[in-house]
Structure 1
Amino acid sequence: MKELVSFIASRLVDTPDAVETSEREEDGTVTVELKVAKEDLGKIIGKQGRTARSLRTVLAAMAEKKEKRCRLEIIE
Protein backbone atom coordinates (compact mmCIF):
# COMPACT_ATOMS: atom_id res chain seq x y z
CA MET A 1 0.00 0.00 0.00
CA LYS A 2 2.89 2.34 0.69
CA GLU A 3 4.02 1.87 -2.91
CA LEU A 4 0.69 3.20 -4.17
CA VAL A 5 0.86 6.27 -1.90
CA SER A 6 4.47 6.88 -2.91
CA PHE A 7 3.60 6.61 -6.61
CA ILE A 8 0.68 9.04 -6.41
CA ALA A 9 2.47 11.52 -4.14
CA SER A 10 5.60 11.63 -6.29
CA ARG A 11 3.45 12.61 -9.28
CA LEU A 12 1.82 15.48 -7.37
CA VAL A 13 4.88 17.23 -5.92
CA ASP A 14 7.69 19.33 -7.39
CA THR A 15 10.45 17.37 -5.61
CA PRO A 16 9.58 13.68 -5.99
CA ASP A 17 12.96 12.64 -4.54
CA ALA A 18 11.86 13.97 -1.13
CA VAL A 19 8.80 11.69 -0.95
CA GLU A 20 9.20 9.09 1.80
CA THR A 21 6.67 6.49 2.84
CA SER A 22 6.68 3.96 5.62
CA GLU A 23 4.16 1.37 6.68
CA ARG A 24 3.37 -0.25 10.02
CA GLU A 25 0.63 -2.60 11.14
CA GLU A 26 -1.03 -2.63 14.55
CA ASP A 27 -4.14 -4.60 15.52
CA GLY A 28 -5.15 -5.26 11.92
CA THR A 29 -4.85 -1.60 10.90
CA VAL A 30 -2.14 -0.60 8.45
CA THR A 31 -0.82 2.93 8.90
CA VAL A 32 0.96 4.50 5.96
CA GLU A 33 3.07 7.56 6.82
CA LEU A 34 3.81 10.03 4.04
CA LYS A 35 6.56 12.61 4.31
CA VAL A 36 7.19 15.23 1.62
CA ALA A 37 9.29 18.37 1.31
CA LYS A 38 7.93 21.32 3.28
CA GLU A 39 7.20 23.34 0.14
CA ASP A 40 5.16 20.45 -1.29
CA LEU A 41 2.97 19.91 1.76
CA GLY A 42 0.21 22.15 0.38
CA LYS A 43 0.08 20.16 -2.86
CA ILE A 44 -0.45 16.91 -0.95
CA ILE A 45 -3.13 18.38 1.30
CA GLY A 46 -4.86 20.37 -1.44
CA LYS A 47 -7.57 23.01 -1.15
CA GLN A 48 -9.70 22.28 1.90
CA GLY A 49 -7.95 18.90 2.22
CA ARG A 50 -9.43 17.50 -0.97
CA THR A 51 -6.25 15.88 -2.28
CA ALA A 52 -5.49 14.24 1.07
CA ARG A 53 -9.08 13.03 1.30
CA SER A 54 -8.82 11.54 -2.19
CA LEU A 55 -5.60 9.76 -1.28
CA ARG A 56 -7.29 8.32 1.79
CA THR A 57 -10.27 7.17 -0.31
CA VAL A 58 -8.04 5.34 -2.80
CA LEU A 59 -6.09 3.78 0.06
CA ALA A 60 -9.29 2.67 1.80
CA ALA A 61 -10.53 1.02 -1.40
CA MET A 62 -7.29 -0.88 -1.76
CA ALA A 63 -7.36 -1.91 1.91
CA GLU A 64 -10.93 -3.12 1.61
CA LYS A 65 -9.93 -5.31 -1.30
CA LYS A 66 -7.24 -6.86 0.92
CA GLU A 67 -9.72 -7.07 3.82
CA LYS A 68 -7.72 -4.74 6.06
CA ARG A 69 -8.15 -1.30 7.56
CA CYS A 70 -5.83 1.48 6.54
CA ARG A 71 -4.93 5.00 7.65
CA LEU A 72 -2.83 7.68 5.99
CA GLU A 73 -0.76 10.06 8.10
CA ILE A 74 0.85 13.06 6.44
CA ILE A 75 3.95 14.12 8.35
CA GLU A 76 5.73 17.46 8.09
Structure 2
Amino acid sequence: MKEFIEFIAKHLVDNPDTVQLEESTPDEKTIELTLKVGAEDVGKVIGKQGKTAQAMRTLLTAIAAKEGKRAILKILD
Protein backbone atom coordinates (compact mmCIF):
# COMPACT_ATOMS: atom_id res chain seq x y z
CA MET A 1 0.00 0.00 0.00
CA LYS A 2 2.71 2.44 1.03
CA GLU A 3 4.86 1.57 -1.98
CA PHE A 4 1.93 2.06 -4.36
CA ILE A 5 1.14 5.61 -3.17
CA GLU A 6 4.84 6.48 -3.14
CA PHE A 7 5.17 5.23 -6.74
CA ILE A 8 2.24 7.38 -7.89
CA ALA A 9 3.48 10.48 -6.07
CA LYS A 10 7.03 10.19 -7.42
CA HIS A 11 5.71 10.04 -10.97
CA LEU A 12 3.46 13.08 -10.51
CA VAL A 13 6.05 15.53 -9.16
CA ASP A 14 8.98 17.31 -10.83
CA ASN A 15 11.38 16.52 -7.98
CA PRO A 16 10.79 12.90 -6.86
CA ASP A 17 13.61 13.08 -4.31
CA THR A 18 11.48 15.28 -2.05
CA VAL A 19 8.66 12.72 -1.76
CA GLN A 20 8.39 11.22 1.72
CA LEU A 21 5.69 8.86 2.90
CA GLU A 22 5.18 7.99 6.55
CA GLU A 23 2.90 5.22 7.73
CA SER A 24 1.25 5.02 11.12
CA THR A 25 -1.42 2.79 12.61
CA PRO A 26 -3.70 4.54 15.13
CA ASP A 27 -5.44 1.20 15.70
CA GLU A 28 -5.29 -2.31 14.21
CA LYS A 29 -7.97 -1.58 11.57
CA THR A 30 -6.70 1.83 10.40
CA ILE A 31 -3.64 2.81 8.39
CA GLU A 32 -2.72 6.48 8.14
CA LEU A 33 -0.33 7.58 5.39
CA THR A 34 1.19 11.06 5.44
CA LEU A 35 2.61 12.24 2.11
CA LYS A 36 5.13 15.07 2.12
CA VAL A 37 6.29 16.71 -1.10
CA GLY A 38 8.16 19.89 -1.98
CA ALA A 39 6.22 23.16 -1.82
CA GLU A 40 6.36 23.56 -5.61
CA ASP A 41 4.88 20.08 -6.17
CA VAL A 42 1.89 20.20 -3.81
CA GLY A 43 -0.42 21.42 -6.57
CA LYS A 44 0.57 18.54 -8.83
CA VAL A 45 -0.23 15.96 -6.17
CA ILE A 46 -3.56 17.57 -5.25
CA GLY A 47 -4.63 18.32 -8.83
CA LYS A 48 -7.40 20.54 -10.13
CA GLN A 49 -10.21 20.75 -7.59
CA GLY A 50 -8.48 17.96 -5.63
CA LYS A 51 -9.27 15.32 -8.22
CA THR A 52 -5.80 13.75 -8.26
CA ALA A 53 -5.71 13.51 -4.46
CA GLN A 54 -9.22 12.07 -4.44
CA ALA A 55 -8.25 9.45 -7.04
CA MET A 56 -5.24 8.44 -4.92
CA ARG A 57 -7.48 8.15 -1.86
CA THR A 58 -10.00 6.04 -3.79
CA LEU A 59 -7.29 3.61 -4.93
CA LEU A 60 -5.86 3.47 -1.41
CA THR A 61 -9.31 2.75 0.03
CA ALA A 62 -9.81 -0.11 -2.43
CA ILE A 63 -6.45 -1.67 -1.58
CA ALA A 64 -7.07 -1.33 2.16
CA ALA A 65 -10.55 -2.83 1.87
CA LYS A 66 -9.07 -6.00 0.41
CA GLU A 67 -7.08 -6.35 3.63
CA GLY A 68 -10.10 -5.51 5.78
CA LYS A 69 -8.67 -2.17 6.87
CA ARG A 70 -9.43 1.54 6.58
CA ALA A 71 -6.89 3.90 5.02
CA ILE A 72 -6.39 7.64 5.41
CA LEU A 73 -4.13 9.74 3.17
CA LYS A 74 -2.90 13.15 4.34
CA ILE A 75 -0.95 15.41 2.00
CA LEU A 76 1.49 17.94 3.48
CA ASP A 77 3.94 20.39 1.91
Q: TM-score range by the shorter chain?
A: over 0.9
Instruction: Look up the match of 2:3.
Output: 3
Q: Which 4+ runs in 1 deviate beyond 4 A? A: none
Whole-angstrom distance in 1 between the partners of 2:60 and 2:44: 18
Whole-angstrom distance in 2 between the partners of 1:15 and 1:36: 9
Identity of aligned residues (%): 51
Instruction: Look up the match of 2:68.
Output: 67
Whole-angstrom distance in 2 between the partners of 1:19 and 1:57: 20
TM-score, L = length of structure 1: 0.97
Whole-angstrom distance in 1 between the partners of 2:42 and 2:18: 11
Matches within 5 A, 1:43-54: 43-54=44-55
Whole-angstrom distance in 1 between the partners of 2:30 and 2:21: 16
TM-score, L = length of structure 2: 0.95
The size of the alignment, in residue pairs, is: 76
Matches within 5 A, 1:25-44: 25-27=25-27, 28-44=29-45
Amino acid at match of 2:57: R
Instruction: Look up the match of 2:24.
Output: 24
5+ residue gaps, structure 1:
none
- The Cα RMSD (Å) is 0.6
SS at match of 1:58: helix
